[in-house]
Structure 1
Amino acid sequence: MRRFLSDPSQAHYRRAWLLLLLFTTVLLGIGIGLRDPWPADEPRFALNALEMLRTGQFWFPHRGGELYPDKPPVFMWASALSIWLTGSVRWGFLIPTTLAGIGTLLLTVDLCRRLYGRRIALMSGLALLSAFQFVLQAKTAQIDMMLTFCTTLATYGLLRHALLGPARRWWLVGWAAMGLGIITKGVGILPLTLLPAWLWMAYSGRSRGRIAPITLKAALQGVAVMVACIAAWAVPMIVMATWGDDPSLAAYRDNILFKQTGQRYADSWTHLEPWYYYLVSVLPWAWMPLVLAFPWALPAWWRRLRRSDPRILLPLSSVILIVTFFSLSPGKRGVYMLPTLPLLVLAMAPLLPGLVTRKGLQWLGFGLLALLGGLLLAAGILGAAGLPALTKVAERHAVSPWAWWIVIGAIAVGLLVILRPRRGLWALASWLVVFWVSWSTWGYALQDHARSPRDMMAQVRSITGADTWLAMPDFDEEFLLQSRQPSIQFGDRTPASAQFRRAFAWLQQDRSRWMFAMQRQAEDYDCIDRDQIHDLGIQNGDDWWLIPATAVDRCQGDANAAPLFVAPTTLPDHTGNAPRV
């Protein structure tokens, strides 16, 4: 790869591009089929996809028989398609984000090739692939990587028009991608943060013909295309919700259109963090190791901005505006920063050849690897030696990663010794490959039994019987996903106390029924006969009880305290793996 990076010939570029594509596919795809969906978000979206396939209701996502109004359905459609094609949740649920990650990288590489040439294009792909949050999210079945693909496609289209155009078709593709991003996760309009710097350069006289102007006609056409893409989903949904005979659909319509967009941003009720949360707690690790280059990148950016280079100003200003935009909202999550990574690489791309020659940056890469490898090696050795502070945590989560940590920590030390500080970045990059491959194989094998309740729900079935009805008050999605029998729940946003009152009433109607509940919630009810309880142990950090209907005879139930939702059957296949369709 180093030989190809230094050779700009077309033949070598094709081979290097294919090698990069193959390497990216293997790195992001390895581990598919080796684990189940893990909380917090993955089981929820897998449930959405499964219920679409089970019920045929694709326009209104459901979770456990209940409408799920928090997100538009595009990501669920992609998940349902991949699960249907593979015939298995375990094989299908990660495919959409893996493909979105590959697509995001290819778009970034191609745009850098057109802007800066072949060598820098390949380096930009490696830079994006080195970013910790990028690989992590490509291996996580959350909506944000698909959103990032949409925003990157929109950025690609807009910048093809702005910097390499005029290119009307790519301008419209960019707006269409924003529309698709909006019906994927609301904030698909993030590429509009390119426009302030674009307009300023185009109409201040600083661009000197290096950037295409935005005409009113082009802007109206772009908005029309974006609205048309949104309307393709929103109009049928609004029509069915408004004129249908199910009042819950109207509540879904209002929630998805208003509460989950404007209200979630301006008056968020969850993930509340201070304004500096991203700067202090997210970007230092999410942008790692790219942030190591900032001491040299910042003055280089400043020099290029003084020359009014739109190739730097547009993506860099977009990064700053996106970070500011999300920092102003009281609700914050680390994944919100993912769409900034391709933009950051675009802004850093022309600096990469010079950055990798900096001795100081090589030393920083060496130091970071020494820190990470040293911590993992020390923690692995101390854990294996029985240090109480570590073993208690391991016992609580039923994971003993000591051998894994010792091995990857020792590999880090070996790379440091072999490559020395003058090749610190290569040592760090090589170790990151080792880390992600081991994470997706050895790490999955160590963690899956602890993060997926597959075995516990099989135990529940063996105790209750395959056809016995099971109540799950205040349920977690991963348990409902792995349930091996008919299951019900009592409304995701219903207070837990109301759910238990309804559960007691439901159990008392048929003494063959059972309830699956967290110990810390169920033990608040002294009416439950403790002698009949099956203590199932710890799963996902909580203790769980299996309670027969005969154990709640003395409990006061209320059949009207909470709604009742029947979860469509998601029985697993005969291998005991994730549910098949």
Structure 2
Amino acid sequence: MAVAVAGLLLFTVGLWDQEFTGFETRFAVFAREMLRLGLSIFPKTYGEPYPDYPATSTLLIWLSSLPFGAVNRFTATLPTAIASALNLALTYRLLCYVSRQWAFIAVCFELLTATFLVEARAISLDQMLATITLACFVLAYRRDHQATTAQRPVLWIFILLVVGFSIRGPMGIVIPVGVLCSYYATTNQWRTVFKIGLPALALLIACWFSMLFLARMEGGEAFVADVIRMQVTGRLSGGEGMPARTYYLVNGLGAFALSLPVAMMVIVPVLLAAFPGLRIPYLKKENSASWEPSLRMATLLVAWLLVVLIGLSIPEAKKARYLLPAVPAMAALAAYVFIAQGNRYLSAIHQVLQKLLLILPTVCGALVLLAEGYLKQHHPQIALHSSVLLILLAACQLQQLLALRARPAAQRDRMIVAVAVTAFWLTNVLLREPAEIQLHSARPFVQAVERLRAENPAPLVMYGIGRDSLAIAYHVNVDGEFQPQFIDRPAQLAELSYPVYLLISARNMAAMAGENATQPKPRWPAPVGHGLLRESEYSVYYLEHSP
């Protein structure tokens, strides 16, 4: 409970007044549309259903926002923060079966995992799926170690799979079941692999056709085709410019530092210890009982990590956040070096990692100075108040030096890792988040345009802007109903009913002038608004007639 409460505080402090940016803008729009229009099976934008997700995550945001009567960054992030806090608590509980030292350091390594911490303080469906995957693994492990509750975990596992599908679609079943099957295969419970795998396949089929039936009710056959494309065929086939098969093994090392790089170094010694000479294709029952508990758990975690890494590398569509369900395994494997005994290779990793964590506050301080210099040179409009952060990081570094005097060694390790987490969290909250929000801020520009439209009403026309990209970034900063018109060709300007407000980028203005080079130059009035929308310059023109 203490781990969950501490995690919830870390994941929600300072969110209340933050602006929505990036990927999460669409979910904020979904929730606001649900507050305005009422409950629906699929989330909605512009009053129409959106095919990429079921409405479950939107419903959770809607529930957390109801007491406040509005959707803000805190209420929208709260469901993800709760799931992330439960993730920490379940990780601690799972590893407590083996070692409290391991459990504590593994929780710290989750917080030291860059993408995990970023997604825990955002709207993230994959973070919720990570908690569901971990919960299924914990239930399977408890079933093997507490025979008195042998049947209940199976029921709960399938309930969790249904919840996973309702949040993340087919991935919500495929990933947890893949992890469960890796667990049972590693422990040579092949009958259970089929007892879990085959019913889960039937459940996936049933849930999929149920969702298609609901999609048909919601939007007709065209919407069903969109659902199939967005949730299955689009992810499997991808498109041009899709990442390579090694995306997660290469790019993930940075996105999931510090846990993933260390976990990858731990895999080989764990497998060599579990399977001497690697002559055994899977764990034999007679060897299972002879394994000491920490090695057994580490082997199960290796199987978990590898099945997610390999499984997610097969589809063409790849994004860093898809790897979140493997974070508990990679964090626990990274922490394993702090409890592994008698292995020189792991001991060497432990010594190097301990020294890296010891100086992490200084490393973070150096990054603050570098970021400040870079932003002053390339983005002078971004204001950072880094003095307080540098003072706090200096205090953390002093505490690290004092931790060296702690005895015994286990307590020293706990103090070093905990202070490193503090420095990492402070840098994320006081440097990365403010810089990213200012860099991608659209609120000032949008509110200025909307004030003009309120004073002199006219429709808003967006030129060359996708309905699901920059339009969503604009939409999330508008209160009430938002129904813009979308055009992407100069000829469509003549078809509009004037007057209108035209939102257009500087690039599209230049392109339009180039296309009409042989024609008389259109007479454009002076723009009534100008600003940044996701780092690109946009202008707003009030047009009383076709230019």
Which category of TM-score, normalised to the shorter sequence, fits these structures?
A: 0.7 to 0.9
Question: What displacement does 1:94 show?
Answer: 0.8
Structure 1, 216-225 or 50-59: larger mean CA deviation: 216-225
What is the correspondence of 1:447-526 to structure 2 with a 5 Å cutoff? 447-466=436-455, 467-473=457-463, 474-475=465-466, 476=470, 477-484=472-479, 487-490=482-485, 497-498=488-489, 501-502=491-492, 505-506=495-496, 509-511=497-499, 513-526=500-513
Task: Report if the CA contact (8 A) 1:265-1:329 is conserved.
Answer: yes
User: SS of the counterpart of 1:543?
Assistant: strand
From the superposition, tell whether residues 503 and 403 of structure 1 become closer, same or farther in structure 2 (CA, over 3 Å): farther
Task: Report if the CA contact (8 A) 2:61-2:76 is conserved.
Answer: yes
What is the correspondence of 1:119-268 to structure 2 with a 5 Å cutoff? 119-165=101-147, 167-185=150-168, 186-188=170-172, 189-194=174-179, 196-198=181-183, 200=185, 213-214=191-192, 234=211, 237-238=214-215, 240-241=217-218, 248-256=219-227, 258-268=228-238
Question: What displacement does 1:417 show?
Answer: 5.0
Question: What displacement does 1:62 show?
Answer: 1.5
CA-based RMSD of the aligned residues comes to 3.6
Structure 1, 24-33 or 350-359: larger mean CA deviation: 350-359
Q: TM-score, normalised by structure 1?
A: 0.75
Question: What displacement does 1:338 show?
Answer: 0.5
What is the correspondence of 1:284-303 to structure 2 with a 5 Å cutoff? 284-289=254-259, 291-292=261-262, 295=265, 298-303=268-273
Distance in 2 of aligned mates of 1:354 and 1:63 = 52
Aligned with 1:61 (options 43, 60, 63): 43
Task: Report if the CA contact (8 A) 1:270-1:331 is conserved.
Answer: no
The alignment status of 1:26 with 2:9, answered yes or no, reads yes
Question: What displacement does 1:129 show?
Answer: 3.2
User: SS of the counterpart of 1:319?
Assistant: helix
Distance in 2 of aligned mates of 1:125 and 1:378 = 24
* Letter in structure 1 aligned against 2:377: K
Distance in 1 of aligned mates of 2:190 and 2:145 = 7
Per-residue deviation, residues 68-120 of structure 1 (Å, max 9, x unmatched): 1112222111122222233232231111110110122222222333x325554
Question: What displacement does 1:137 show?
Answer: 1.2
Task: Report if the CA contact (8 A) 1:516-1:546 is conserved.
Answer: yes
Distance in 2 of aligned mates of 1:270 and 1:408 = 45
Q: TM-score, normalised by structure 2?
A: 0.80
Task: Report if the CA contact (8 A) 1:47-1:63 is conserved.
Answer: yes
The alignment status of 1:432 with 2:421, answered yes or no, reads yes
Instruction: Name structure 1 gaps, 5 residues minimum.
Output: 1-17, 242-247, 555-581
Per-residue deviation, residues 309-348 of structure 1 (Å, max 9, x unmatched): 5644433212111111111222211111110012334556
What is the correspondence of 1:513-552 to structure 2 with a 5 Å cutoff? 513-526=500-513, 529-550=523-544
Distance in 2 of aligned mates of 1:217 and 1:290 = 31
From the superposition, tell whether residues 197 and 84 of structure 1 become closer, same or farther in structure 2 (CA, over 3 Å): closer
From the superposition, tell whether residues 326 and 229 of structure 1 become closer, same or farther in structure 2 (CA, over 3 Å): closer
From the superposition, tell whether residues 298 and 59 of structure 1 become closer, same or farther in structure 2 (CA, over 3 Å): same
- Name the structure 1 match of 2:283: none
Per-residue deviation, residues 361-403 of structure 1 (Å, max 9, x unmatched): 24334336647744753662x676xx6x6533223x6344654
Task: Report if the CA contact (8 A) 1:163-1:212 is conserved.
Answer: no
Distance in 1 of aligned mates of 2:61 and 2:325 = 20
User: SS of the counterpart of 1:141?
Assistant: coil
Task: Report if the CA contact (8 A) 1:516-1:545 is conserved.
Answer: yes
* Letter in structure 2 aligned against 1:497: D
* Letter in structure 1 aligned against 2:137: T
Distance in 2 of aligned mates of 1:530 and 1:263 = 44
From the superposition, tell whether residues 277 and 302 of structure 1 become closer, same or farther in structure 2 (CA, over 3 Å): same
Per-residue deviation, residues 172-194 of structure 1 (Å, max 9, x unmatched): 21122122212322312212224
Distance in 2 of aligned mates of 1:263 and 1:383 = 40
Task: Report if the CA contact (8 A) 2:403-2:416 is conserved.
Answer: yes
- Name the structure 2 match of 1:74: 56
Distance in 2 of aligned mates of 1:49 and 1:458 = 20
Question: What displacement does 1:273 show?
Answer: 0.6
Structure 1, 148-157 or 462-471: larger mean CA deviation: 462-471
Task: Report if the CA contact (8 A) 2:92-2:104 is conserved.
Answer: yes
Aligned with 1:391 (options 376, 381, 399): 376
Question: What displacement does 1:290 show?
Answer: 5.9
Task: Report if the CA contact (8 A) 1:112-1:349 is conserved.
Answer: no
The alignment status of 1:279 with 2:249, answered yes or no, reads yes
**Equivalences, count:** 506
Per-residue deviation, residues 264-292 of structure 1 (Å, max 9, x unmatched): 23211377111111111113440414633
Structure 1, 185-194 or 291-300: larger mean CA deviation: 291-300
Distance in 1 of aligned mates of 2:240 and 2:16 = 32
From the superposition, tell whether residues 200 and 368 of structure 1 become closer, same or farther in structure 2 (CA, over 3 Å): closer
Distance in 1 of aligned mates of 2:154 and 2:530 = 57
Among all aligned residue pairs of Structure 1 and Structure 2, give the percentage whose two residues are the same amino acid.
Answer: 18
Question: What displacement does 1:360 show?
Answer: 5.0
User: SS of the counterpart of 1:465?
Assistant: helix
From the superposition, tell whether residues 360 and 228 of structure 1 become closer, same or farther in structure 2 (CA, over 3 Å): closer
Per-residue deviation, residues 410-465 of structure 1 (Å, max 9, x unmatched): 45654565556996874454143234245335654555444332222221133333
Per-residue deviation, residues 214-262 of structure 1 (Å, max 9, x unmatched): 286676666666666667x627614514xxxxxx432222222x21333
Aligned with 2:328 (options 322, 333, 342): 342
User: SS of the counterpart of 2:488?
Assistant: helix
Distance in 2 of aligned mates of 1:161 and 1:335 = 30
Aligned with 2:312 (options 321, 326, 350): 326
From the superposition, tell whether residues 390 and 95 of structure 1 become closer, same or farther in structure 2 (CA, over 3 Å): closer
